[in-house]
């Protein structure tokens, strides 16, 4: 996709008509590919990660940006690269939109984004107090190609440290080692440097821009951190010849290098360097559409990842999850590798000694025995977890992996007996014009394409013999569902499907009442079946073929207990009568039979949508292994549903008890591997 061409993995003897040859940079492994391109006079494209790549390292996170250089590669100063030629040209690099360039730079700085973005911001106490001046010296990994091809060697690092000490006699010199050196995977050029009265060695991984903000001057050999220092407005001295040196914005200690002669005729500002390297030279993926995008698309995505990572920075200790749920949610609850842990019970969780920013995570309203007490004793958050309101193509009870979920630190949305994060958001959040604009788009998309929680049934026209009567839809529910147990009056009020049908007939005696059984019930996965003879005492029609959305479209009124169908009906402008206390009741949008506690203001429909669909759930992209938006998941679910429908597989997800059991068994087997 980045290349705009069909890739072809080549090996000797494999014939193919090629338009070009691509390899990863100038690594030794590309020698044969470069030789092949030279021999057959084909262009060689050097590929490298972009300067803003992903949340974490390449082992766990796919790249969001790619450099494609048909001339050289940016870190090789021994020859021109496409980036160097662009900078040396007469091109106005701030075109076509100078304001966009400056906004991208400002967004990157404000969010503190770098090539990788998993490192925390610099903690308090990391630097010495009372420094008269602070100078940062940046080490690199031994053997880094950008050193050898950047006009430098081991002696350059020794000279750089000596110069930093000599030229800044009043300063504390901070030597920042590379994260791979800290982890022990590689060695560095300044690994042997020891702390002293004037030298501090920083070994912990830390967000580069948060560190730059505390420095007065920066020394580098060829690290891209030097350019990030320029972006942050810091003076930068280069002992190698990185791509950003030689253009008049750095203090260059190799003025006689041939690359400097190539660059001598042109002066560029930091904004121009940023535009060249980050806007024109680099290609970006739009993480929401999975198509080519812009630097803004990647910056927005990475900001979202960092926001969620900061919200849950510690371990996510998941207690009592069955193996299939562990398999489906693996990696979703923490972007920090190794910080999502599954344990059997509270005793096993206690053995992990949760503390600080750690969270205990349980499924549903009631934590496993001892978990709430452990959370209180350890002083950590207890998060209740549930599926989001737009979940998947396929039933959760069929073990289909979810695309959204909620983590609630107060309670859970379907339990009105206690506060929840959603309640608090709906009671207190000041919704912005952007929130409402997004909510309106989401609502329109859902209505237009018939999106639901499970998306198993395509939208279709429904015609019933009505004779002009009002149509009332009664959606069936799983009667042992927690939303009914905690959200209905189970003593004197309506809390069964039969009771709901009877109440609907009593309120609408002359209406054409349609009963739509719940898909988990009709599938045989959950309890709640109403015998047809019983249902027809109060219903004129039992609909088992048409989708619930098709039924909503064809009705005038929805009568429900706590079903999400009531929310779907609100999205479509229908009258909704509620016999329970679902999250969408009590805000002035529904006709409520029961009083609903703690709901203290009236809301517009778009405000309800903004809270429930935009801000309360987390949305997951399994391909990019990160958190995405409601809008992206809606588009992806629609595309998935349409593809399954076209291939005939959507019907197989809906029907066939043995087929579904086999599919569930496969998930269980994978979960145990």
- Mean local confidence (pLDDT), 361-388: 96
- In this prediction, residue 656 carries a pLDDT of 58
Asked if residue 397 has pLDDT above 50, the reply is yes
pLDDT at 660 over 90: no
Mean pLDDT across the stretch 149-172? Answer: 97
- pLDDT computed for residue 393 by the predictor: 83
Spatial separation of the C-alpha atoms in residues 549 and 609, rounded to whole Å: 17
The percentage of the chain sitting over the pLDDT mark of 90, rounded to a whole number, equals 72
Q: Is the dihedral of CA 478, 484, 490, 496 positive or negative?
A: negative
> 536-565 burial, b for 16+ CB within 10 Å, e for fewer?
eebbbbbbeebbbbbbbbbbebbbbbbbbb
Radius of gyration, alpha carbons of the chain: 30
State pLDDT tens for residues 458-480.
Answer: 777 788 767 689 999 999 998 88
Q: What percent of the chain has pLDDT over 70?
A: 90
Say yes or no to pLDDT of 150 above 90: yes
Q: If we measure between CA atoms, which residue out of 553, 628, 613 comes closest to residue 583?
A: 613
Q: What pTM value is reported for the model?
A: 0.90
Please report which confidence band the pLDDT of residue 532 belongs to, taking 50, 70 and 90 as the band edges.
low
430 in Cβ contact with 601 (< 8 Å): no
Which residues lie below 8 Å from residue 59, measured CB to CB, with a gap of 6+?
none
What's the CA gap between 43 and 38, in Å, rounded? Answer: 8
Per-residue pLDDT tens for 592-615? 999 998 998 999 999 999 999 999
Question: Mean per-residue pLDDT for 538-562?
Answer: 92
Q: Six-digit token pair at 374?
A: 């452990």
Does the pLDDT of residue 134 top 70, yes or no?
yes
At 210-264, the pLDDT tens digits run 999 999 999 999 999 999 999 999 999 999 999 999 999 999 999 999 999 999 9
Tens of pLDDT, residue by residue over 99-111, are 999 999 999 999 9
Q: What's the pLDDT at 519?
A: 65
**Are residues 583 and 422 in contact, defined by beta-carbon separation less than 8 angstroms?**
yes
Q: What residues have CB less than 8 Å from 176, skipping those under 6 apart?
A: 136, 137, 138, 139, 202, 211, 225
What span, in angstroms and rounded, lies between the C-alpha atoms of 429 and 423?
A: 10
CA 31 → CA 49, 73, 337, distances in Å?
19, 14, 34
pLDDT at 528 over 70: no
Residue (of 326, 287, 278) closest to 104 by Cα position: 278
pLDDT at site 62: 93
User: Tokens in use for 233?
Assistant: 């407005």
Q: Are 53 and 295 in contact (CB under 8 A)?
A: no
557 sits in which H/E element: strand 557-560
Averaged pLDDT for residues 426-440? 98
CB 114 within 8 A of CB 208: yes
Instruction: Give the rounded distance of the alpha carbon of 308 from its chain centre.
Output: 8
Q: Is the pLDDT of residue 526 over 50?
A: no
Rounded to an integer, what is the distance from CA 536 to the centroid of its chain? 47
The model's pLDDT over 609-620, given as tens digits with 9 standing for 90+, comes to 999 999 999 999
User: What is the token pair recorded at 51?
Assistant: 């300067």
pLDDT (tens digit, 9 = 90+) per residue, 38-53?
888 898 999 999 999 9
Q: What one-character-per-residue DSSP string does 249-305 give?
A: SSEES-TTSHHHHHHTT----HHHHHIIIIIISEEEEETTTTEEE-HHHHHHHHHHH
Other C-beta atoms lying within 10 Å of the C-beta of residue 66: 17
Q: Are 612 and 605 in contact (CB under 8 A)?
A: no
Give the confidence band of 143 by pLDDT, cuts at 50, 70, 90.
confident
Burial annotation 633-662 (CB, 10 A radius, 16+ → b, else e): bbbbbbebbeebeeeeebeebbeeeeebee
- Looking at residue 195, the DSSP 8-state letter turns out to be -
| pLDDT above 60 for 535 | yes
Per residue in 335-347, pLDDT (tens digit) is 998 999 999 999 9
The pLDDT of 433-437, averaged and rounded, is 98
Whole-number pLDDT of residue 32: 86
Q: What is the mean pLDDT of the chain?
A: 90
Picking from 87, 51, 92, 43, the residue whose alpha carbon sits closest to that of residue 69 is 43
Check pLDDT > 70 for residue 11. Answer: no
**Average of pLDDT values for 9-13?**
56
Count of C-beta atoms within a 10 Å radius of residue 529: 17
Give yes or no for a cis peptide into 541 (omega within 30° of 0): no
Q: Inform me whether the pLDDT recorded for 530 exceeds 80.
A: no
Whole-angstrom Cα distance, residue 400 to residue 403? 10
The answer to whether residue 499 scores a pLDDT higher than 80 is yes
For residue 326, give the 3-state DSSP assignment: helix
Q: What is the pLDDT of residue 15?
A: 55
At residue 180, the 3 state secondary structure works out as helix
Q: How far apart are CA 325 and CA 330, in angstroms?
A: 8
pLDDT at 39: 87
Which candidate, 417, 536, 434, places its Cα nearest to that of 487? 417
Q: Do 68 and 2 contact (CB within 8 A), yes or no?
A: yes
Q: What is the pLDDT at residue 527?
A: 46
Q: How far apart are CA 277 and CA 256, in angstroms?
A: 24
**Cα–Cα dist 504/560, whole Å:** 9
């Amino acid at each position: 996709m980045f290349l705009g061409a069909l890739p072809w993995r080549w090996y000797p003897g494999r014939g193919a008509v090629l338009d070009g040859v691509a390899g990863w940079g100038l690594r030794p492994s590309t020698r044969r590919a470069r030789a092949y391109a030279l021999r057959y006079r084909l262009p060689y494209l050097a590929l490298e990660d972009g300067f803003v790549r992903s949340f974490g390292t390449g082992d766990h996170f796919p790249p969001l940006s790619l450099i494609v250089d048909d001339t050289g590669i940016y870190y090789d100063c021994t020859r021109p690269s496409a980036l160097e030629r662009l900078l040396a040209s007469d091109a106005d690099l701030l075109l076509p939109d100078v304001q966009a360039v400056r906004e991208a730079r400002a967004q990157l700085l404000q969010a503190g984004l770098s090539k990788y973005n998993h490192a925390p911001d610099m903690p308090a106490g990391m630097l010495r107090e009372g420094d008269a001046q602070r100078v940062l010296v940046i080490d690199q990994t031994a053997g880094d190609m950008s050193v050898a091809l950047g006009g430098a060697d081991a002696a350059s690092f020794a000279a750089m440290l000596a110069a930093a000490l000599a030229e800044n006699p009043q300063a504390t010199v901070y030597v920042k080692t590379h994260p791979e050196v800290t982890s022990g995977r590689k060695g560095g050029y300044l690994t042997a440097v020891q702390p002293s009265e004037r030298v501090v060695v920083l070994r912990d991984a830390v967000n580069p821009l948060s560190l730059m903000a505390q420095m007065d001057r920066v020394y580098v050999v060829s690290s891209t951190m030097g350019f990030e220092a320029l972006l942050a407005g810091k003076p930068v001295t280069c002992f190698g010849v990185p791509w950003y040196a030689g253009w008049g914005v750095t203090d260059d200690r190799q003025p006689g290098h041939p690359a400097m002669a190539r660059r001598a005729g042109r002066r560029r500002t930091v904004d121009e360097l940023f535009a060249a390297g980050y806007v024109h030279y680099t290609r970006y993926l739009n993480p929401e559409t999975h198509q080519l995008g812009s630097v803004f698309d990647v910056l927005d995505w990475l900001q979202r990842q960092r926001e969620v990572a900061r919200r849950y920075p510690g371990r996510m200790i998941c207690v009592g999850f069955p193996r299939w749920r562990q398999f489906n949610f693996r990696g979703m609850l923490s972007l920090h590798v190794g910080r999502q842990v599954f344990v059997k019970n509270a005793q096993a969780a206690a053995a992990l000694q949760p503390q600080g920013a750690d969270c205990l995570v349980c499924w549903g309203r009631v934590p496993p025995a001892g978990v709430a007490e452990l959370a209180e004793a350890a002083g950590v958050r207890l998060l209740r977890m549930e599926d989001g309101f737009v979940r998947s193509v396929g039933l959760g009870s069929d073990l289909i992996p979810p695309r959204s979920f909620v983590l609630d630190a107060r309670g859970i949305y379907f339990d009105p007996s206690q506060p929840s994060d959603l309640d608090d958001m709906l009671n207190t959040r000041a919704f912005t014009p952007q929130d409402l604009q997004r909510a309106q788009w989401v609502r329109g998309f859902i209505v237009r394409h018939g999106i639901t929680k499970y998306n198993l049934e395509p939208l279709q026209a429904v015609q019933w013999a009505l004779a002009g009567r009002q149509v009332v839809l009664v959606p069936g529910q799983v009667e042992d569902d927690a939303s009914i147990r905690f959200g209905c009056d189970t003593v004197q009020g309506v809390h069964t499907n039969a009771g709901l049908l009877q109440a609907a007939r009593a309120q609408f005696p002359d209406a054409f009442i349609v009963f739509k059984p719940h898909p988990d019930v009709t599938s045989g996965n959950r309890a709640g079946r109403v015998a047809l003879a019983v249902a027809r005492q109060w219903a004129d029609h039992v609909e088992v073929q048409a989708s619930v959305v098709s039924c909503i479209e064809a009705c005038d009124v929805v009568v429900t207990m706590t079903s999400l169908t009531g929310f779907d009906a609100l999205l479509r402008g229908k009258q909704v009568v509620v016999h329970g206390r679902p999250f969408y009741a009590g805000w002035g949008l529904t006709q409520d039979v029961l009083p609903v506690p703690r709901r203290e203001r009236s809301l517009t429909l778009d405000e309800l949508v903004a809270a429930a669909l935009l801000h309360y759930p987390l949305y997951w992209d399994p391909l990019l292994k990160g958190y995405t938006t409601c809008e992206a998941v809606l588009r992806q679910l629609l595309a998935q549903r349409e593809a399954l429908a076209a291939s005939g597989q959507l019907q197989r997800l809906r029907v066939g008890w043995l087929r579904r059991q086999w599919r569930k068994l496969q998930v269980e087997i994978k979960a145990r591997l």
